[in-house]
Amino acid sequence: MSTQQCFSCGAADGMVHFEGRGETVSVKGMERRIDNLSGWECQKCGEVELDEMCGQRYSDACDELVIASRKMVGNEMRRIRRKLHLTQKETVQLLSGGGHNAFSRYERGEILPPKALILLMRLLDRYPYLLTDAKTLGEGADLRGFEHIVHKEHESLSVS
């Protein structure tokens, strides 16, 4: 059994070499299995360092998984938007704010939408009639276009 000093906790002969290990990584319910991993694991502190080629395969699999999950969320956003009969522009104005092409970047899976937006879209998917309420309640939520009304003194005293 080959051992070496742990670079993390310093335990002499703490790290033991392993081979043929399989690991499953998962993001948002999607999984990738990575087989034949080899590397070093510390028996004292649990630190793991994969051998170079395996580390590359491992991070490639993670990257691939993150991209796949962003695409999955993007497809979901597009499906719900179309179900609600909204254009990308309308969706940005009504729900997400931000740049005019923000929503198309979400749908293409380039960036992950904020969690609150995903939640909102899923709520509207389940209860589409709430879109009418969303339009009403969204009025005045965007403070860039707010207006204010000055009340004259006597108005604030009158009760009707």
Nearer to Zn ion, 9 or 111 (CB): 9
44 sits near Zn ion (criterion: CB under 5 A):
yes
Q: Does 14 engage in binding with Zn ion (CB under 5 A)?
A: yes
Q: Which amino acid is at 93?
A: Q
**How far apart (Å, rounded) are the C-alpha atoms in residues 47 and 125?**
44
Q: Residue 91 burial (CB < 10 Å; 0-12/13-18/19+)? A: buried
Binding range to Zn ion, per CB under 5 A, among 6-14, 82-90, 116-124, 142-150: 6-14
User: Please, which residue, 8 or 93, has the CB nearer to Zn ion?
Assistant: 8
12 touches Zn ion (CB under 5 A)? no
Tell me: does residue 45 bind Zn ion (CB under 5 A): yes
Pick out residues in 46-85 that bind Zn ion (CB under 5 A).
47
Residue 79 CA: distances (Å) to CA of 27, 52, 84, 103, 122: 21, 41, 9, 13, 11
Q: For the CB of residue 5, give the shortest distance to Zn ion in the complex, in Å.
A: 9
By CB under 5 A, name the one of 4, 8, 69, 104 that touches Zn ion. Answer: 8
What are the structure tokens assigned to 117, written together? 């937006």
DSSP assignments along 148-160, one per residue: --PPPHHHHH---
Q: C-alpha dihedral over 102, 108, 114, 116, to 10 degrees?
A: 100
Nearer to Zn ion, 23 or 41 (CB): 41
Minimal distance, residue 44 CB to Zn ion, in Å? 4
Residues that bind Zn ion (CB under 5 A): 6, 8-9, 11, 14, 42, 44-45, 47
